[in-house]
Amino acid sequence: MTETPGYRPLYRQVYDIVVSKVAKGTWRPGESLPSELNLAKELGVSQGTVRKVLDALTAEKLLERRQGKGTYIAENTQERSLFRFFRLARPGGKRLTPERVAESVKVRSARTVERSKLDLDRTERVVEISRTRLIDASPAIYEIIVLPVKFFPGIEKRGSLPNTLYSLYQTDFGINIVSAQEEVHAELATAEDHRRLQIDIGAPILVIDRVALSLQGRKVEWRLSRVKSHDLVYAVNLT
């Protein structure tokens, strides 16, 4: 059955239909979309409305335009995810590529703070991923990542998780991370930081508190990163 925009505002309905098709896997990462003309005919709207929606979704990094080829569903590759969501750099702006080393994964009941961060019910369970990441072969980041089990069933049974998780979320669970809410603050290193990051207790560290949102606006990941800060900065380009 052909989907149609219905009686809600036209642009918003076309936008929601395209997003829904991506979320359902009708169009897979890396797959090309129908032409603007064919999509407009399918939805019963003007080609201009379709173009406006596709332009908006391209700006939001859900789609990508390929010169002379058309519009494609963007893939959250390891490189793309690192470029978009990894903001640590050397002073002066040199971008860095972290490596994953020690890692543990377990399923447990959601704690109060996690229910608040991820909008979970009292009875819900989560997957906790804790891992240390290296930069230039030295421990630099200790992360706790919390995921609702309902969105990532069975992820804890995998033998090894990739360095960058967002590509796995997209390809294996149909979860497209499109934005993140971050808060950054400074703390003093604890005994656990000393053990994980090989820094002195009481040394300054950077703490990054991130909630990642899916294509549908759901809060699907809470990540707390504790960063050795003596030679790392949080770098953002403002335009």
Same domain, 117 and 226: yes
Is 5 among the domain residues? no
Give the CA-trace dihedral at 39, 41, 43, 45, to 10 degrees: 110
Tens of pLDDT, residue by residue over 70-124, are 898 887 655 565 556 788 888 887 778 888 888 999 999 999 999 999 999 999 9
The distance of Cα 101 from the centroid of its chain, to the nearest Å, equals 20
**115 and 37 housed in the same domain:** no
- Which of 22, 52, 73 terminates a domain? The answer is 73
Closest by Cα among 197, 210, 175 to 87:
210
Report if residue 165 sits inside a domain.
yes
On whether both 60 and 145 belong to a single domain, the answer is: no
Query: For residue range 193-214, what is the model confidence (pLDDT) as tens digits?
Result: 999 999 999 999 999 999 999 8
Q: Is residue 43 part of a domain?
A: yes
Which strand ranges, in their side-by-side order, compose the sheet holding 219-228? Answer: 99-109, 125-135, 138-148, 219-228, 204-214, 177-188
pLDDT digits (tens, 9 = 90+) for 136-145: 889 999 999 9
Identify the domain containing residue 20 by its residue range. 10-73
pTM for the model: 0.76
pLDDT at 4: 53
Structural domain contains residue 3: no
Number of domains in the chain: 2
Q: Are residues 214 and 117 in the same domain?
A: yes
- 129 with 102: CB under 8 angstroms? no
Same-domain status, 152 and 65: no
> Is residue 94 assigned to a domain?
yes
Distance between CA atoms of residues 4 and 228, nearest Å: 52
Residues 104 and 69 in one domain: no
Report if residue 1 sits inside a domain: no
Assign 3-state DSSP to the chain and report helix, strand, coil percentages, each to 5. 30, 35, 40
